[in-house]
Every structure is written in C-alpha cells, then in structure tokens.
Structure 1
Amino acid sequence: MSRISTAELSRYLLTGRFSRRGCLNSRLSRIAPVRQTSLSSQGRSLGTSAETATAAPPSATAAPITPLRKQLKEQAKALKASGKKKKKNKADNQTVPGWELTVGIEIHAQLNSARKLFSPAATSFNDKPNSHVALFDVAMPGSQPLFQPEVLIPAVRAALALNCAIQPISRFDRKHYFHWDQPAGYQITQYYHPFARDGRVVLHARDGIAPEDGDRVEIGIKQVQMEQDTAKTTAQPGDVHWLDFNRVGLPLIEIITLPQIHHPATAAALVRKVQMLLASVDACVSGMEAGGLRADVNVSVRRTDDAAAGGKLGTRTEIKNLSSFKAVEDAIIAERDRQIAVLEAGGVVEAETRGWSLGSTETRRLRGKEGEVDYRYMPDPDLGPVVIGDDLVAHLASSMGVLPDAEIDELVGRYGLSAKDALSLTTVDDGARVQYFYNVLDALEARLGLDKTGAASDQRHALLAANWCLHELGKLTELSSDLGMTPEGECNVPSAALAAILAHLHRREITAKVAKELLWDAFRGEVTADSVTQKIDADKLWFKELSEDEYAQLADQVVQGEDKVLGEFLRFKQGKAKAYPQGKLMFLVGKMMRAGTEQRMDPASAERVLRARIEDVYLPRLEGR
C-alpha cells in the first residue's frame, strides 16, 4: 500500500475528510470523523469517543469546521483579553513585587589531583568501574585514612582565586549519614575548622548578573573546606542501582557563600564565575557539563516590609545537586514562586530538602532538612590537623598567573574588544582559545612590523584577530566536531597560518571571502603559513579594488528610482527623524555589491563612498527641488 500523503492525513485529522481512492476506501469509509472540540474545554484537545465512533459522517448542512490554526489564534486573543499574564521570561522574572528573595549557594568542585583525598588510589573519570579502589575507600575494617598532601596544591590555589584567607591549621570532622553511596556511614569534611575563610567573588554586568544588581555586585564566601566524594550511582530497570566506587574519596572542595544573593540570574552568574576561576588556576579541570562541579542552593523569601525593618530571613529550603547554570536559575525561580504562593495562602514554609529535574516547572520534596544535630559531627580521630605553611601559600599566590577579570580588562582596554567577546575568548576551550588569540596576534604583529610596546594605538589588527579566532574559527566547529585546541593555544589551524591569512586581509590584499576559503584550506592542511602567499598568487586571488570614480558610478546607478529611500536621509538631515537611517544605507550598499564585481569591491569602501555621495550630491538635489 502506498504512503498516505501528509495533506490527506491532515484533512482527516482536522476535518474528518479522507480520500476514498485505492485500498483506503474499504477501510477508512467505516471510520467516523474526529469530533472537533474546543481546545480550552475541560483541558481537552482533538479526540474521539464512544459517541463519535458510531456517529454518521457530517452532512452538507453541518456547521463549518474552524481550522485548528484559527482556533489557536482565537484562544490566544481570548487569553490576552482576559488579562491573564503570560509566563515571564527570565529577564523579567528576577523580582516579585512585595517580596525579597535571599539565596546562599554551596558549590562542590572536584579538585585536579592524581590521587584521592585519603588513599593513594588514582582519581578516575572514564576508567573501568571499580578499578581504582583502595581498602579505605570501601571502609574495609582495619583500614585508616591517609591524607594525600598533593591535594593541597589545587585546593589552596582555588581558595586564593576566591580571595580567601588561608588558615594555618585546619581539621577534619566526620559528618554521619547513611546511604548506599557512602560505605563508611560518614563523610570526612571540614565543617568546623576549614582551611580557608572570608573570601569574596566580584561579579560584573558582563558576567550576566541581573540588571537589578547594577554594574557590579560582591558576594562573600563564608568558607572553603576539603571533603571526600561519594560513590557514583547508576540506576537500572527494576529498582536496581549499580555503584562505581572509583568516585569514592575523590577530593572535593565545598565553597559556601554568604546569603547575599537576591536575584536568580546573579546566582547562576556566580556559579559560572566560580567555575571559570577554578579552571583558570588549574584547580578544577572538569566543569558542570562533565559532572565535576555541582551546586546546592538555599532559598528563602520574606516580605519587603520585613526586610526594610531588619526582620529575620524566611525559612530556607535547600535544592540539591543542580548540574547546570540554567538549572540553578530555573530552580530558584520555581522555589521562590512556590514559597510565595504558600505564604500568600496563609501556609508555613517548611525547612526541607528538595530536588529539581531538568525541564521541570517546580521543585519536589525529597526529605526533611537535616541540621548539625542530625549529622552528629565529631572530630575525626584518625586524622591529625593540616598545617599549611606561609611559604607554600606565598609560592602558589605568586605563580597563579592572570585571573579572568584582569585578562578581560586587558582585552577590552588594550585591544578594544567588546566585553562579550573578551569573556567568550577567556572561557571557550577552557581558556585555550585566548592563548590561541595571543599566538595569532604575536605572529600577525610580526608580519605587519608593529611595535608591541605600550598600549596599541591602532587596534584594528587586534580586533580582526579576535573576530577570526572567536567567530570565524568557531564556524569550523559547526562542520567539524573538534578543532583539536591544546592548552598551549594551537589547533588544527596553526596560529602562524591564520596570522599569514589575516596579514593579507588587514592590508586589503584579499577579500574576506578569499580569506575564509584560505582558512578552510589551512584547516584541511592544504596550506601553511609559508604557502599562503603562493596559493593566493597561483589562484589569482589578489584583491584589485575599484577606484573612487568606479564606486561613485555604481552609487549613481543604484540610487536611480530610490527617491523614497533618499527622502529618509533628508528627513534626518532636517531634524524630522531621530535616528540616522543606517538600514536604508546598507540596503543601497547591498545593491552596489550586487551590481558591481564582488572580487573587486570592499563593503566598507562602498559604504563610505555612498554616504559621501548622499550627503554631498543627492540631498542637495532633493533640497533644491
């Protein structure tokens, strides 16, 4: 039997009509048409029932059937007329009038260490399950923890990046709770005597904070503590769970913020900023997308009148194990709205632990909230204090390198990049893309013979390099799975080869289209830094630009019959329009590019000549009429 066309199916599903040709006739003729119902009626949509299964086909006098698309339009109009608000987007959903949100965050990050926290077993990410397990990891009777001093290196670097004060002496505690992923029945942590305290993270508008926070907000870090991770649980059908003890004992730091966050977008920006800081100092090499960083958020609300009067914070709930920046913001919004609804209905918010699933619209209760008494904290009798010397702290602080904020400021101030592009360069490829940019820039300046001393007086070459390193190189990843970017800032397109291409483009010796073709050749390994010029010469790709007179002739040609467009420029000149009609100008530039020879035209030159002709020739003619 041949396939039923989409058109026939839609006619049957939406109007009850069907084709009687072929084998469909004998089978579908006995099927009653689908009963049309209102989409808003009792929450139902198009469907069938026992009543319609025996109904006769619609007669010629039956009421006309309203198309589904029209029904949806009418339903949207009715919703708008009823005054009901649509779901807010995140930008408009940062505050609720009359209420204050308060959020504190606990971030768990896996340290970049070769060994576990209390055993010499190797840290493992993708190795065979249960292949890196020491006796202490599975709480074998008689085994004892052995602190691995090398874990201090990434831990201290992380705390320094968060502007924390390193404590000379810290101690470990046992936090008791029972679950299958914790073999010993307790977790070793540093709740009472952490190794770092009193830090801060500064967030700027470019980091994605809520507009209500202005250009800058500072979030305090209460403490940073070392602790061990639990086993990895993989759920299987039939209420079966598999445990991988490779993850037991992996070294973590827990970063506890002060409750100083009042907008969901700022909370997500904080987690994103912390991940970037930890990656920049090589403390945590696996981010949220790979499971190396997780966040728990504590959410409470109170009326703004109580906040103004200095009243205490509302009852907080904790949302556990958020694994993406989007989940952090979405879960806070959902929990804030739930708590407000409970309080406005006269209820009481309970202190509890709640969960969140990606794609959800509300949090769900997991269990009651545990406190210090529930965990029965006690000093670990098998572990002595951790003593961190000032010489180690000084050495690590001096070898940290440039942190992201300082690097972004340098890219914006020295090279003229936008804050958005500067932030992208420092974060893409775990920071390797910005090193690639510096490699390209060094090679480009050498080819152009530019002096690197002092602030760059002409930033055009740096902006050109940044644009290609970020955007044009990024387009290659749309068709290729990986650029092969290394931490040293090299990839499948050698930085020297890209610099050679950009040198010709900067001198206006080739067009952007030719440069993009050469970029693909370099990606495929068909050209190198030394063969770019030979490739251009062999294929006759040199750019021979039109003269000023030739551009002017094209401009005269394309404005013929465009009096209405030119009238927009005249209205601006006469003060009758607030904004310069840039869109109209680019419309005419596009006509010029299509009318001329593409290989000999530069859009910037075409725009410059056309703008001058409009102001010096065409507008005076219009005014003289």
Structure 2
Amino acid sequence: MLRLCLRHSSRAASSLTCPRCQHHNVLQLSNINHTASTIQLPSYTLFRSLQTTPADSKDRISLRKQLKQDAKSSKAQKRQRREQEAASREKWELTVGVEIHAQLNTETKLFSRASTLSSEIPNSNVALFDLAFPGSQPEFQVATLLPALRAAIALNCEIQPVSRFDRKHYFYQDQPAGYQITQYYEPFARNGYIDLYKHDGIAAEDGDHIRVGIKQIQLEQDTAKSQEYPPSTQLLDFNRVSHPLIEIITLPQIHNPATAAALVRKVQSILQSCNSVTTGMELGGLRADINVSVRQRSEDLGAHQYGGIGGLGQRTEIKNLSSFKAVEDAIIAEKNRQVTVLESGGVIEGETRGWTIGSTETRKLRGKEGEVDYRYMPDPDILPLLIGEDLVAELAATLPTVPDTLLDMLVGPTYNLSIEDAKPLVDLEDGARLEYYQDVVDILRELQHDLPAKAQDDLGRVAGNWVLHELGGLLTKADLPWEAERVTSQSLAAIIDNLQRKKITGATAKQILGMLFDGDRRPVAQLLEEENLILRPLSREEYIALAEAAIELNPSMVEQIRSKNQLGKLGWFVGQMMRMGEKGRVEAQKAEAILKELIVS
C-alpha cells in the first residue's frame, strides 16, 4: 500500500499524514504493478483524517487559501527572476553573432545538373558528383548565382568582382566527399548591413532602431539528410547534397536575445521578398547558428581573461536552430550558463553546443574547431567566379521592393496605415495579401472619384481594416488559407463603397461579406437589391421609440450611467436597439446620439 501527500507527493505515514507538512489529505494507492515499464494507477481513494482535533484544524489550509499562496509565490518567483535578469544585464554584457544558412531558389544543384525539387523517393535526385564518385568533376551552375546575388543586393552588400571556392575538410556520413565546397577566404559578397526597427520586435533596450553589420555572404553546398532509427541504424538521403546555400555571417553587434531573433526573422522576410528562397524556418529551408559570449561591463576585459578576441568574452556556438523562438531561448539559456560559470570562478571553453526545443539548457556537442582543424584550401577543380558590374546593376534595377520600403509606403500619405496593420500586410502570404489590398484601394478610388478629396484620404485605412480584420477574421475562424478569389477585390471594394456612402450599415456590410465568403457569387448591387438590404433610414421618432423601449429593459443601468457618468454602457443599449429594430436599418451613431439625449441630458 502506497500513501502520497497531495501537496508534496511525499510518502505518508500509516497515520495518513505527510511528514513534511502534516497534511491530512493523502492519496492511497493500491494494486500497483511494479514490474510494468510505467506505473499504472487503476484506482485510488482520498482519505481525510476522521480524528481532527481543534489543534489539527489550525494546521490545515483551505484549498482557496492554498491556491492564493501558490499564486503569490509564483508571482514572487517571477519578480525575483526579472530582478536577477536586470542585475545580470547591468553586470554582464551579452554579445551575439548570427550565421544564417538559407537554401536558394534554384532548379539545379550548385555543382551538378541534378534537380533540387523535393522528392518523397530518397536518393532520386542525385548526380555522380553529389555522391563523390571517383573521377566526377564539379560543374558550376551559373543560374544558381542569381538568387544569391539578389539576396546580397537586398542585404546592402558589396558584390565582389572575383570570388573563389574553398574546401572545408571534415568527415561525417552526410558529407560523402569528406569536404564541403564553400567560400571562406574570398566570398562573393561583403560589408552589408540590415536595419532593425521597433516594429521588427527588437528589445526595448535597443531603442527604435539598430543597424547590424554583415561581414560576408558565401556560397556553399548543403549536406545529406539523416534519419536515425535507434538503437544503431541511420539512413541517408542524398537528394539534398549540393543544394545551393548561402551563409550570411553577421558581425557580433547584437546584445539582446529578442533582437537576434528579430534579425533572423527579418532576414527570412527579405530573402522571401526578393525570391531568393522558397521556404523558411518552418519548412527547414533556413537554419541559424548563434555565437554567444559574455563579459563584465565594469572592466575593460582583454582577450586573455576569457580566451576571447578584441575584448569580447570566449564565444560558444549553438548549431542548427530551426525556429525564431529557439534562437531567443537558446541565447538566454547559454548566457545564463556562461554567467554562472564565470561567477563561480570557471572559464568558458570554446565549443559547439546544441539546443533542444523545450529545454532550459544548452548541451555540449564537441570542442570548437578552428580553421586549422578544417584544413581550408582552395578548390583546385573550380575556376574563380567572375561577376560583371552589368549583371549586378541589372539585378539591382529589377529587384522587388524590400519590406522596409513597402512599410514606409503603407504608413505614408498614400495609404495612411498604422504600422500594426502595415506589417502583417507585408509579411502575410509572401505579399499576396498586400497585392489584394492595393487592388481594393485602387478600385475604391475609382468608385469614389466623385466624392470630395477629404473623403478619399481615409480609404487606405478603411480598406486595411476590412482586408486584415473582417475578411482575415473569417479566414481564421474557418481555418482556411488565403485565397483572393473567395471574395474578389472588386466585391470587397463595392461593399466598402456602399458603406462609405451610407447606403448600408456596418452590420449589413459584414452580413454581405459573410454571404460572399460562403460562396454567394451575385454581384454586390444585385445582392443588396434582391435581399432588400439597402438602408431605409429610420425617422427620429422611430429612434426615440426604440431607445425608450431599450431603456425600460434595464432601468438600473440607466441610473448607473446617470450617477457615475459611465457612458461606455450606452453601447449595450445600442445593441438592444439594433436587435429590436428592423434588420439593417438602425445606425449605431444615430442610436447612440438619441440615447445620450434621453439618458444623459
């Protein structure tokens, strides 16, 4: 027979009390199968001591009081963690550098004509060179350079007229040649930068704007995909070998985990906007490695103390992070680990570490390799890569508008959107939602060319609300992907135009949108006519009658509004008037004005 305290899970004595807290609510477990791999709890009985003395009742804590104490303790722990984190920021400076590996949007691999299309059949898109067959030679595929150049231009890099490929030697089963072809010494792009703003999600400590330098962008091969089948089987799919990658290496200029995550998120957005990649982190097309170091703020620390470079602490690298949250969480965990080691008198070792989603600590993978360990050498089989200025100029001139420029346009006088509405329009569906929104605004301006210019100034904001919140809300509720033809831009513009001209009420406009969303293909004008939805305004007398009927329903609320000036509660009465009145005829603004006359005045 096993007895456990419900509060502490401690073994209870035969008297059915916990030795830690003398708690009397004890769980008695019987018939436990001790030989099973997991403990089965088929049944239990909750016992409460039958011999409760007045002294015992003083020690017992009610469930409600216990929950309050637990909540209070949890808040205190969170407050203590925040204080410790603030103290840690004051004493220790975090420095982060990011390396982003992105699969390029190409039809062929980097050094063979094998297809890069994903295939469910393993090892079906593989050339002899991809498998390092003896005698096979690399053949650089020129078309793979174009998406790489678009990415480098979008990230404000200087394109190098001459670049070269190197061999990075290491043995692992996913690298059949025993080396990876990359650009280490002479990459094709250098000296770029990326601007991060408050709306990108940077840490509050970084203010409204921060610029992070990009040291270089290099072309390189991807490796094979490994699948492990414990305890000892590992299968390799070489379809991914030699898929063209770019590696984007930033300078160590980031000092907050949230800013590092924001940078990776924005790089992905930029790469997608210029058609350099087809997938992002969510599908494995982009991965991030993070270099983390800490040093004391109060001292001018030299490289000798922590084995760092240029006054920075000794860095460790966290490999293969596959989500933005993982980037932020892994940096926080590694920073805390390094601070703990240093404050206890230890030394940070240069090493490569791993991160598991849901974990609270990084784990050591191996000692950190340097360039000597990798034995970098120029690849003797590949000629130097020559990039002409005319090609760079042509790509720069035809590059799609980058997200920051789009945001500036959307929040400017042309559309007058808030940054909160502009950003999702840019980010959602790789720009498809933005294109739809711009079509709606253009059609609206044609429909309302006869209205005063002042009335048209607000069209961008109104259209943004309907595209993002009203139509977007229907998509979210139905759990459907974006599809512009579900409600055409012409139909949505017609709904907004009728609403702006006060031919329909807001409730009717939402009703029509819902009908179109559900498959009604009638033009908006026909739908309004056949469903008798065109607004027939109520007279003042009709509004007063409805308002008086609504007021009679809840006189106590009327008294609260009058005595405490709680005007926000007028909305309840407006809703009552809309429900009592003829559908689609009660206008909220007019109803509220009548209510103010009757209740407040």
Same fold (TM over 0.5): yes
- C-alpha spacing 1:192/1:105, structure 2 compared with 1 (3 Å): same
Separation in 2 of the partners of 1:330 and 1:94? 19
The amino acid across from 1:164 in the alignment is C
**Alignment partner of 1:293 out of 269, 279, 286:** 286
TM-score computed with the length of structure 1 as normaliser: 0.81
Separation in 1 of the partners of 2:96 and 2:338? 13
1:325 lines up with 2:321 in the alignment: no
- C-alpha spacing 1:35/1:336, structure 2 compared with 1 (3 Å): farther
Partner of 1:518: 512
Partner of 2:600: 618
The Cα of 1:304 is off from its aligned counterpart by 1.3
Separation in 2 of the partners of 1:520 and 1:84? 47
Identical columns (%): 52
- Where does the alignment leave 5 or more consecutive residues of structure 1 unmatched? 1-11, 16-31, 570-580, 620-625
Q: Encode CA deviations 1:106-151: one digit per residue, 9 max, x unaligned.
A: 0011111111111100102244221100001111111111110001
- C-alpha spacing 1:372/1:54, structure 2 compared with 1 (3 Å): closer
The Cα of 1:518 is off from its aligned counterpart by 2.8
The Cα of 1:345 is off from its aligned counterpart by 1.4
Separation in 2 of the partners of 1:196 and 1:438? 34
Say which SS state the counterpart of residue 271 (structure 2) adopts: helix
Give the alignment's Cα RMSD to 1 decimal: 3.6
Partner of 1:565: 561
Moved more, 602-611 or 299-308: 602-611
- C-alpha spacing 1:148/1:360, structure 2 compared with 1 (3 Å): same
Matches within 5 A, 1:71-86: 71-77=66-72, 84-86=77-79
Moved more, 68-77 or 348-357: 68-77
Say which SS state the counterpart of residue 306 (structure 1) adopts: coil
The amino acid across from 1:182 in the alignment is Q
**Alignment partner of 1:600 out of 582, 585, 596:** 585
Q: Encode CA deviations 1:329-384: one digit per residue, 9 max, x unaligned.
A: 11111111111111111111111111111111111111111111111110011101
Partner of 2:418: 418
The Cα of 1:97 is off from its aligned counterpart by 2.7
Partner of 1:576: none
1:429 lines up with 2:422 in the alignment: no
**Alignment partner of 2:488 out of 494, 502, 507:** 494
The amino acid across from 2:69 in the alignment is E
The Cα of 1:287 is off from its aligned counterpart by 0.7
Task: Number of aligned residue pairs: give it.
Answer: 563
Partner of 1:465: 463
Partner of 1:130: 123
The amino acid across from 1:507 in the alignment is R
Separation in 2 of the partners of 1:367 and 1:180? 16
Asked whether the equivalents of residues 14 and 68 of structure 1 are also in contact (C-alpha less than 8 Å), the reply is no
- C-alpha spacing 1:193/1:84, structure 2 compared with 1 (3 Å): same
The Cα of 1:588 is off from its aligned counterpart by 5.4
Partner of 2:307: none
Q: Encode CA deviations 1:382-418: one digit per residue, 9 max, x unaligned.
A: 1011111000000000001321111111111121211
Partner of 2:251: 258
The amino acid across from 2:432 in the alignment is A
Separation in 2 of the partners of 1:73 and 1:386? 68
Separation in 1 of the partners of 2:110 and 2:583? 63
Q: Encode CA deviations 1:424-462: one digit per residue, 9 max, x unaligned.
A: 00111111110111122222322333699xx98733332
Separation in 2 of the partners of 1:108 and 1:420? 29
Asked whether the equivalents of residues 518 and 527 of structure 1 are also in contact (C-alpha less than 8 Å), the reply is no
Separation in 1 of the partners of 2:512 and 2:17? 59
Partner of 1:240: 233
Separation in 2 of the partners of 1:34 and 1:154? 75
The amino acid across from 1:109 in the alignment is A
Partner of 2:536: 544
- C-alpha spacing 1:136/1:450, structure 2 compared with 1 (3 Å): farther
**Alignment partner of 2:201 out of 180, 205, 208:** 208
- Where does the alignment leave 5 or more consecutive residues of structure 2 unmatched? 8-12, 33-42, 304-309
Partner of 1:165: 158
Partner of 1:19: none
Separation in 2 of the partners of 1:157 and 1:459? 36
Q: Encode CA deviations 1:278-337: one digit per residue, 9 max, x unaligned.
A: 111111121111111111111111111136999711111111111111111111111111
Asked whether the equivalents of residues 440 and 496 of structure 1 are also in contact (C-alpha less than 8 Å), the reply is yes
Say which SS state the counterpart of residue 89 (structure 2) adopts: coil
Partner of 1:8: none
Asked whether the equivalents of residues 28 and 47 of structure 2 are also in contact (C-alpha less than 8 Å), the reply is no
Separation in 2 of the partners of 1:442 and 1:76? 53
TM-score computed with the length of structure 2 as normaliser: 0.84
Asked whether the equivalents of residues 94 and 264 of structure 1 are also in contact (C-alpha less than 8 Å), the reply is no
The Cα of 1:230 is off from its aligned counterpart by 0.4
Partner of 1:175: 168
The amino acid across from 1:74 in the alignment is Q
Moved over 6 A (4+): 12-15, 38-41, 53-57, 92-95, 308-311
The amino acid across from 2:104 in the alignment is L
Say which SS state the counterpart of residue 417 (structure 2) adopts: coil
